Structure 1
Amino acid sequence: MRSVPDDIAISLARSLGAYIGATPAHELPGPLRRFKGFRQQTLATRHRADLLARLEHDALRRRLVDWLDDGKPSISKRDKEILRLACERPKGWRSELERHSRHKKAPPKGAEEKVVELEAQLERERAKVRKVREELKGVKESARAAAASERLVHAELMTDLQDMKKRVTAAERARTEAQAAAEKAELALERDRRKNRRAGEKAASDRDDARAELKEVRRTVRTLKTRIREVETEAQVARARRSSRTKTTPAPPGKRSRLRAPKGLFDDAPESLAAWLQTEGVRLLVDGYNVSKAEGAYGELDLESQRERVVDGVARLARKKNVQATVVFDGSEVPPRTSRKKSGPVTVEYSSAAETADDHLVALLEKWPTVPVIVVTSDRELQERAAAQGATIATSSQFMVLIR
């Protein structure tokens, strides 16, 4: 996109950041997927030009318009209007973007009122044209529908007439044939009566034999069905046992092993996380505020309530899966000298003033034994640092599905 005022560029980057944050990673277009997990402030400052360049793609602009129309984007009314102009690009859209800029020069006295009046007049004329077009369209559709209905009625009447003629002809032919058949049947009936008497005697004997055979077959079928159900039950139990055993990636001695997703599942599926938590000796390490501020989590609550909700959810999951769990929060948001506490099966730790919560979490990974560890965070940078320590990564959204 060519040069636009700085405040307009910031607005567009902010809106794109909101779209990226609100859209699941697998539904994002390829060019935007790499920005998933970035903070909006980072996108608006460091990646603004790259994001604005993506707006030259027609497919992305259409997706953004659908998002504005169908979703509930958490952006301001002004940001929505600016993003819609940049995506739909109606005639004079660049001038409209300039008009939305807060850095523009003041218009001449009286010019704005004149523009508003002209725009209102133009909109009224457009409304008249739209109304006339809709009325004309309705008349045309009514005429077409009436003509189609008449043609359909005529065709149905002709079909009924032809069908009636065929039925009359068929009835006459059937009556003649029926008379001949009745005479022939009378003769055949007597012969059949004699044959039937002989056949009845034989059928009675065959029926008795067939009933005996049928009873035997039914007993055999019941036996086979019972055995089939037993085999199916044994197979289901065997499959359940195999699927509960999560495989790990072989690692050199002294290094932590990364867990693999079960066959047929992706790493970011909630079912994969549930399977990982059944791994023997696995530990759970949670980026507290990243989970509480995830979409659909507890971001609308105060920080203390967010911490309580996250710790309670982790505790329930830890008891259910019988795993050791640790939650790390940023220590700058809690009273001084708060560093570590125990809440049931969960250890809660806070970063010190000399470190960030991310640094504290990575430090725990470095000093823990090389058992499998699942790190829960959607922060891209922290994911990379934790993965370098051999940790298995689960996203905050993936984790929220299990603790809701």
Structure 2
Amino acid sequence: MSEVAADAGSNATILPEPVRQRVLALAAQALGAMPATDIPAPLRRFASFAPAKRAKLSASVLGPILDTDERFRRLVAIEVRREHPELGDAVADAVPTPAADPAEVAALAYLIRPEDWQARVAEAAQVPKAAPKADDEAIARLGEQLDQARTETRQIRERLREQLAEVKAENVTLRRKLNEARQRIAGLQSDLADRTAAADTADERVDAARAESERELRKLRARITELEAVEHAARRTAGQEREFASVRTRLLLDTVIEAASGLRRELALPPGGDLRPADTVAGVEPSAEPVGRSAPDDDPSLLDELLALPQVHLVVDGYNVTKTAWPSAPLHSQRQRLLTALGALVAQRRIEVTAVFDGATLSGPVQLNAPRGVRIRFSPAGVTADEVIRQLVRAEPPGRPVVVVSSDREVADSIVAMGARALAASTLITRLARG
């Protein structure tokens, strides 16, 4: 170890080896506790090392920086005093420390820099080194132990080499198996992805097929419901038509029978059993005027004659009559007055009466007290009362007497062409006024 020498022309300080080693150890210890911003750039890579490794590896850089970077040295001194508060305070206050290690005191003095720091460093340099005591037996014993340790170390090293070779071979085998396993896993994953995609596609196809089947099923059900409704309507219509045909036939038959009976009474014909073949060879006989033709069309008595016909059906153009009879009265009042009068007529003559009104003038449901025996019809949307009257005439079987009361010339002409009899509204009004 050499003494401290300070060159007046240089900033470098030569420290005794024990002091230098202790300074580096203390600075390396403090380096780990300092923030990165306070550490010079060349030392930052050593800050994360272990203290012993940090002191060993950073020695060549840490010593010159401590000697030249005053700020960094003061920061290191602060950390060292925090770790060694009593001895650091004694060194800073120049208090004698005879019991302390001179190298420790010199290292702290070098970092803290009190006024007598150079003297403390010089004192540490003057401390004589303790003479080593040689012990031949101990040296021999230690030599034997060293040789034995070296032999054991070689054996252990050989075993470790063998184990390392086995581990390397096993590692190679494991790596190969791992690669094979990875390849199999990759293949399985690829196959799984393909199967998953195929399953998803199959699910989509199944869902599409199910949806299509459900749509077809709904269509078939709707078609079945529609066909059932058509069948039900057809059956109902067929039954109604059969019933209607039977009614028409029965009504026509009753009309023919009553007309024949009336004609027989009118003509005073003898019973059928009195007819002889010679009677069919007779010449032309005078024909009687048809019933209902004996009075002019505007004569109210003509209506009585027509109503006397068997199974006669009286159809009344409602508003055509009411607006002629009571033009200033409200429509509901007109309808009720006409229906009341027609009810009285039905009670007298026992005839079938239908009153037809135009439904286009209605703003809502109609509450009517229909007399017994009087049928009331309002024309549906888009259909006139005149057309409903024509439908009623067409619905009657040919040969049944139908009388239509309407002053509408077009209606009268059309129903006459269909075989019915037309009378003016005034004829019915006069008849109803007579009571």
Q: TM-score, normalised by structure 2?
A: 0.32
Q: TM-score, normalised by structure 1?
A: 0.34
Higher relative contact order (CA 8 A, sep 6+): 1
Larger Rg: 2
